[in-house]
Amino acid sequence: MAKLEVGKEAIEKKGWWRAYKWLILRRASQLGILGLFMIIPICKMLNPEGDCALGWIIKGNLSSSKLFDAIPMTDPLLFLQMIASGFTSIAIEAVIGAVIILVFYFLVGGRVFCSWVCPVNMVTDAAFWLRQKLGLNGVGTRFTRNVRYWMLGMILVLSAVTGSLAYELVNPVSMLHRGLFFGMSLGWIVIAAVFIFDLFITKRGWCTHICPMGAFYGLVGKASPLKVRADARDKCNDCGDCYAVCPEAQILKPILKGEKKGILPVISAGECTNCGRCIDVCGEEVFEFGNRYKR
């Protein structure tokens, strides 16, 4: 039998929608969030004199924003950098905002930020897709995924040493999100660099090896209650599709093969982004979203 393409089996067995459901919902979430930030700017652009009566749903960007002109949200990693840089008289609004974001991502899984919200995810997913299409799998170099934790430490030290939010000068995540709403020209070079890095140099290089924001949210989500479960792992037929799509494939094996060792069938690693792509592509329906506790 010829080797089926990744996900083919799932499409055949479960139908198209269920084989793409989480991917489509995820893209809808990413684009929807961009859209919410854009409603008023677009309205003003189309109708500069008129009144955009709906008012702001969400204003700002991922670094800091305000929902319905009332609920503050602040990037907690940026908040930590602020403290590290020596600015401690932070207004209470930003403190509340950081706590809100921390609690939210603790509940739904830290790296839900990465796969459901972050706009760079679409860039790096595109690079990954093209890398597969062009057959570049062996191209480039590999290095440890722990770099991101070093990066996390480094940007905090950097804030302390420079006394400013120095990483924000180059952070592609906030740069892209800001650039999409407030305009950007040279910044696109930074985004292109991330794309090219992921395409030619390291497979899934930025998001799963380097990005300190991903590392931070990974730590936030270590003990999150919402996790992907593999309760039906005995049904696994070793097709390898989940390994092929998972951005953090190293976390799958211990769970799928760990029944004898008494490992819970829960993808409990903080690195998991809860993207749900493994649920999509598994024809045997091994995976599902669930809680992290014993059943």
Partner 1 sequence: MSSSQSKKSQSTKRVVSRRRFLADMAGTACGVGLFGLGIGVYSQSANAIKSLAIRPPGALAEKEFLSACTRCGICVRDCPYDILKLAEVGDGVATGTPYFIARTDPCEMCEDIPCIPNCPTGALDHSLTDINKSNMGTAVLIDQETCIAFLGLRCEVCFNVCPVRGEAITLDMRHNDRSGRHAMFIPVVHSDACTGCGLCEKACILENESAIKVLPTHLAKADFAQHYRLGWDEAKKAGKSLIKTTDEHKYNLPDGVRYDHHGEGLITDEGGNPVINLPSKKEPETLPKKSNPLDTLNNGIQEAK
Binding site for partner 1 (CB under 8 A): 40-41, 56, 59-61, 63-66, 69, 72, 74-75, 78, 81-82, 85-87, 89-91, 93-94, 97, 143-144, 146-147, 150-151, 154-155, 157-159, 161-170, 174-175, 178-179, 181-187, 189-190
Please count the other Cβ atoms lying within 10 Å of the Cβ belonging to residue 42. 11
DSSP-assigned beta bridge partners for residue 229:
266, 288
Structure tokens at 44: 């003003």
Q: Which is nearer to partner 1, 160 or 249 (CB)?
A: 160
Closest distance to partner 1 from the beta carbon of 168 (Å) = 6
Please, are residues 84 and 156 in contact by the beta-carbon 8 Å criterion?
yes
Please, are residues 165 and 159 in contact by the beta-carbon 8 Å criterion?
yes
Residue corresponding to tokens 């191209």: 139
Q: Which is nearer to partner 1, 191 or 252 (CB)?
A: 191
Closest distance to partner 1 from the beta carbon of 137 (Å) = 23
Q: Which is nearer to partner 1, 5 or 69 (CB)?
A: 69
Cα distance between residue 179 and residue 111, in whole Å: 22
Residue corresponding to tokens 């907690």: 76
Closest distance to partner 1 from the beta carbon of 253 (Å) = 20
Q: Which is nearer to partner 1, 20 or 105 (CB)?
A: 105
State how beta strands 226-229 and 288-291 pair: antiparallel
DSSP-assigned beta bridge partners for residue 61:
64
Residue type at 151?
A: M
Q: Which is nearer to partner 1, 132 or 164 (CB)?
A: 164
Closest distance to partner 1 from the beta carbon of 71 (Å) = 11
Closest distance to partner 1 from the beta carbon of 207 (Å) = 16
